[in-house]
Structure 1
Amino acid sequence: MRLMLLIRLIFLLLLNGVVLSYAHAASLAYEFSRVSNNSTEDLGRQLSMLVTEQSGGALFTFSNRLGVPSSITDIYFDDASQPLFSSIAYHSDSGAGVSFDSQAAPANLPGGNVIGFLAGFSGDSSAQSVEGGVATKGVMKNGVNSTDEWVSFLGLWANAGSFDGLIKAFADAHFRVGLHVQAIGLAGRSDSYVNQPSPVPLPAAAWLFASALFGFIVIANRRKV
């Protein structure tokens, strides 16, 4: 009986490892580093990008965690070095209070020329939008603010594109994502940010492991009764 229990626990651990590996491979989170110095506030760890594998491409979802008041108003993708995508365009958002279009203005990340950033695809918040029949005005009002708001862009692979290739391109800085953030803090300054080359741990994966471990303990205790 104990041998069978041990075999089942090993099998569940291996299965859990496979699930965790897939979760890490299919969805990765990145934070950002500041490339300009206009504001006294550094929002690097407040800004987040979740990259999720999709059929035929990758989905980029941006959020602005609760913290310093600010608004992500422009998003840029540098895919010039070794192109992975045939297109990257606005896909969806959290709803009221967020409104984005493809093709940002200016066309390149402000201050991006200092680090050789060259945007091939981009998008920005709309100057005027209609949400539930009510007109909302202002780029910053329609950006991703430090609440529960988010916006996503869908990239479709070019011939050489793949999710593994994208992760490697992030690490090698051959693919970069830039954000222009406005209305930062009380002074209302703006700054530009570029993604960090390495992903940060996903909390969901840790919870998945913890829940699986708890399940193993419950099974073991029931076997003793």
Structure 2
Amino acid sequence: MAMPLPDEHQLEELKSRALRGKDLLLLRQWLGLNIADCCYLLGMPLIRWHYYQKRPESLIQDAGVAMLARALLTHPEVHYLPRFPTPAEMLPAYRRALAQSNRTLADPDTALGLLLGRDRTSVKRWLNGTGQRQVPPPVSRLLGALHILLLHHGVPGFEALVDRAAFEAAARGFDLHSPAMTTWARRAPYRPRKPSASRPENEAEPDTEHEADSDPTDPA
């Protein structure tokens, strides 16, 4: 995965000191990875990541992780995480496969969002780059799986994915082929809140004004 090197001043600084927790944060920021992917890249458990996140000046205790991080920061060719296709890159291949398939999907372009486990409006947001959230990691990986299915199995591979999505939808009470299915989330029916119980008007209030003020221990 080709990418530019980090800032030259940052790299120069790394030559004269041991790597610290903040350098792992730099690596993640530079690569644009989520925490889970960065931990996978470094072979590091999540609990250790949080340790360094809270202690950015702490030396990286595992020398192997420190050397791996240094190699990843200074040599782009070392990177081995796959680059998953974007929705925009996969949309033409998806359209071709659907045109050659005997499977039908209502509103095909938005149905891609359902095939990727999201709602119909997701595709438009991804293509326009709108919304605060990027393409979720599971969707990126499913796009990669779809790319491989089309590459190695063509239309039959695509149809197998559609059939599986329809099966998963039916198991959840949805019909993938119906335009009425817009999301995988099942919303609970609206139930108006019951009015809080009020005290009956004829219920007597306790008489506190005429309570005896005498000592309760008085035997009289």
TM over 0.5: no
Greater relative contact order (Cα 8 A, min sep 6): structure 1 or 2? 1
- The higher radius of gyration belongs to 2
With structure 1 as the length reference, what TM-score do the two structures score? 0.18
Looking at secondary structure, tell me which structure has more strand per residue. Answer: 1
